[in-house]
DNA sequence: CAGTGGTCTAGACCACACT
DNA sequence: GTGTGGTCTAGACCACTGC
């Protein structure tokens, strides 16, 4: 217990990281709370605390790492701001999950032009297929795999109020999702990311999207019940798990005649 | 100096807000730092401190409001997180501005498919017109005006690497932007929001966007040098100033053959 | 060097949820 | 009541900027 931190004043018991001086290049000063944050992140990655579970209390963590409660607090604050943890006053701090009513569709930006999400009822999902294949070079690169590695390709449609609205192609590393098949997907009640989390321990933390306006192929047009001349909103997404590890590639074709993609710029 | 805060322990000199008890309905507890935040916000709204200027130091503000530095700090932290203020260690805390190289295009999400923004050079702007008209009902509603109030309608194109890529229609309350005309716009070097800020004291803080895939009219197609069968990405934006006041409505039609709209989901 | 934001501590007390 | 997160303070010291 004790070591590291540079400044010579406090020497808490968090791993070992020499801070300033000595090193030839950039001193790369890292405050204590950042180091605590990394330790907490490691525990999350390692699955030490699972989604929906409470992590130890701030006081407990402060004792464990030999720092003050305020320092632990600041580390947790940042993790909460990044949606990795959820604080609940009086109850504790919990590992974020896609399996909570409130954040169930955290990554869903498609909204009906009129009315609310709930007023339309839930989307009707239809799994068209779930096939296993060998990863082509481009997909392997995006997912951090080797070309030829096992890949799952899921295709599904989502119908809103009876109208087919979204056609999604989803690619996943087969290694991480053993046993996933069309039947699993069709049966599961709830968001797909909730399933990934519960059944495969894969928690999506962040995603990057690229949007384009495109025309559908004949096949795509048919599945969405539109003509091939109908402009569609294509959303390509890469989703990342804890350590910025790419886990999923998804390409959605969205009809935007009754819906739109909503975004807030801060 | 002194009054308010409920808890009976500290009684700093921030306005006057009774917190808990007494009130019939919800006590609506509001922590001190939130009240400080509101005071700072009011100063920003009132233009007491202008963009790029430094606000008083934390210690100074703490003295002024009769609270501890940590409390002021937390208020500023939130305003910085909302991009209203920018902290610079060793120098001070500054009012955010769209006229900084680093954040010049804070609201721009269109990116070239290959290369970086800068590698393509700046976009070539072309103001097609800047007309004054009377606000129709729908636009008045969006901008918080009365139907028939003065409205400015700007139309411009943006060309990237010689290719016309964006066609924008912009609507502004004429009252807030007196004297704005095509010549002003054409001449000004820099982002339009920078102009608004410098010349009209209007600072955009937040925006909401709705995206759809559409087909252009004949006229729009011609301006973007595409066929009327080309799918385009339509982005409708409402921009807000300090107190959530709508200030601008903008509809952009984007070619997405060489560019895409980028978004990050957290 | 002085001044600013940034970190860290230790302790008191409040608000909230459970039991 | 007990335990949790949330607020607030006072003070020390560090890191960065600029005179």
User: How far is Cα B193 from Cα B177, in angstroms, rounded to an integer?
Assistant: 12
Nearest CA-CA distance, residue B236 and chain A, Å:
10
By a Cβ cutoff of 8 Å, what residues of chain B touch chain A? 81-83, 106-107, 109, 206-215, 229, 231-234, 237, 254, 256, 260-266
Q: What's the pLDDT tens digit per position in A193-247?
A: 999 999 999 999 999 999 999 999 999 999 999 999 999 999 999 999 998 999 9
Residues with Cβ within 8 Å of residue B218, at least 6 apart in sequence: B228
User: How far is Cα A129 from Cα A171, in angstroms, rounded to an integer?
Assistant: 12
By a Cβ cutoff of 8 Å, what residues of chain A touch chain B? 81-83, 106-107, 109, 206-215, 229, 231-234, 237, 254, 256, 260-266
User: How far is Cα A160 from Cα A164, in angstroms, rounded to an integer?
Assistant: 6
Nearest to A266 among B83, B109, B234 (CB): B83
Can you say whether residue A199 is alpha, beta or left, with left for phi > 0 and alpha for psi between -120 and 50 degrees?
A: alpha
The answer to whether strand C lies under 7 Å from the CB of residue A263 is: no
Quick one: angle between helices B58-65 and B32-45, nearest 10? Answer: 110
Q: What's the pLDDT tens digit per position in A76-85?
A: 999 999 999 9
Longest dimension (CA), chain B: 70
What's the token pair of residue A51? Answer: 């989604």
pLDDT for res A26 = 54
Can you say whether residue B173 is alpha, beta or left, with left for phi > 0 and alpha for psi between -120 and 50 degrees?
A: beta
Contact A213, A232 (CB under 8 A): yes
Longest dimension (CA), chain A: 70
Could you say which residues 70-89 of protein chain B have a Cβ atom less than 7 A away from any atom in strand D? Answer: 70-71, 74, 88-89
Nearest CA in chain B to A103: B266
Sheet holding B163-173, edge to edge: A110-112, A259-265, B206-214, B232-240, B246-254, B163-173, B150-160, B124-134
CA A59 to C1' D9 (Å) is 19
pLDDT for res B104 = 77
pLDDT by residue, tens only, chain B of 266 residues: 333 333 333 344 554 444 444 444 555 689 999 999 999 999 999 999 999 999 999 999 999 999 999 999 999 999 999 999 999 999 999 999 998 877 778 999 999 998 765 666 678 999 999 999 999 999 999 999 999 999 999 999 999 999 999 999 999 999 999 999 999 999 998 889 999 998 999 999 999 999 999 999 999 999 999 999 999 999 999 999 998 999 999 999 999 999 999 999 98
Chain B interface mutation, best of A114, A211, A238, highest count of B Cβ atoms under 10 Å: A211
pLDDT for res A182 = 94
DSSP H/E element including B133: strand B124-134
Average pLDDT over residues A28-41: 94
Nucleotide closest in space to A34 (CA vs C1')? C7
Average pLDDT, chain A: 89
Instruction: Count the alpha carbons within 13 Å of A100 in the hemisphere toward its beta carbon.
Output: 14
pLDDT for res A104 = 77
CA angle B144, B145, B151 (to 5 degrees): 120
* Reported confidence tier of residue A120, pLDDT bands at 50, 70, 90: low
Which one has a higher pLDDT value, B11 or A182? A182
Q: What's the pLDDT tens digit per position in A94-112?
A: 999 998 877 778 999 999 9
pLDDT for res B21 = 42
User: How far is Cα B227 from Cα A26, in angstroms, rounded to an integer?
Assistant: 54
Contact A208 B109 (CB under 8 A): no
pLDDT for res A118 = 60
* Reported confidence tier of residue A5, pLDDT bands at 50, 70, 90: very low
In the predicted model, is pLDDT for residue A32 greater than 90? yes
CA angle B146, B148, B151 (to 5 degrees): 90
In the predicted model, is pLDDT for residue A176 greater than 60? yes
Burial class (CB in 10 A: 0-12, 13-18, 19+), A235: buried
Q: What's the pLDDT tens digit per position in B63-121?
A: 999 999 999 999 999 999 999 999 999 999 999 999 887 777 899 999 999 876 566 66
CB atoms within 10 A of CB B132: 11
Nucleotide closest in space to B27 (CA vs C1')? C15
pLDDT for res A10 = 37
User: How far is Cα B4 from Cα A265, in angstroms, rounded to an integer?
Assistant: 36
pLDDT for res A119 = 60
Burial class (CB in 10 A: 0-12, 13-18, 19+), B123: middle
Nearest to B256 among A206, A212, A261 (CB): A212
Least confident of A122-126, A151-155, A180-184, A226-230: A122-126
Q: What is the pTM of this model?
A: 0.89
pLDDT for res A23 = 41
């Amino acid at each position: 217990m004790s070591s590291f931190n540079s400044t010579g004043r406090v020497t808490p018991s968090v791993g070992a990281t020499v801070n300033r001086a000595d090193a030839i290049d950039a001193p790369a000063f890292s405050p204590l709370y950042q180091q605590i944050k990394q330790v907490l992140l490691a525990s999350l990655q390692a699955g030490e605390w699972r989604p929906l579970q409470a992590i130890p209390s701030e006081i407990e963590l402060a004792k464990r790492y030999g720092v003050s409660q305020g320092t632990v607090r600041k580390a947790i604050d940042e993790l909460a701001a990044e949606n990795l943890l959820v604080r609940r006053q009086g109850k504790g701090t919990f590992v974020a999950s896609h399996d909570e009513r409130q954040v169930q569709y955290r990554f869903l930006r498609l909204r009906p032009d009129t009315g609310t999400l709930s007023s339309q009822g839930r989307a009707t999902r239809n799994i068209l297929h779930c096939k296993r294949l060998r990863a082509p070079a481009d997909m392997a690169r995006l997912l951090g795999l080797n070309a030829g590695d096992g890949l799952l390709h899921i295709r599904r449609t989502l119908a809103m109020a009876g109208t087919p609205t979204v056609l999604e192609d989803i690619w996943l590393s087969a290694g991480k999702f053993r046993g996933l098949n069309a039947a699993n997907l069709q049966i599961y009640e709830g968001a797909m990311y909730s399933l990934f989390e519960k059944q495969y321990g894969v928690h999506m933390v962040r995603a990057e999207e690229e949007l384009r306006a495109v025309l559908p192929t004949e096949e795509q047009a048919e599945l969405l019940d539109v003509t091939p001349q109908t402009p569609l909103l294509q959303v390509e997404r890469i989703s990342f798990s804890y350590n910025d590890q790419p886990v999923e590639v998804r390409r959605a074709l969205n009809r935007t005649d009754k819906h739109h993609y909503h975004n807030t710029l801060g």
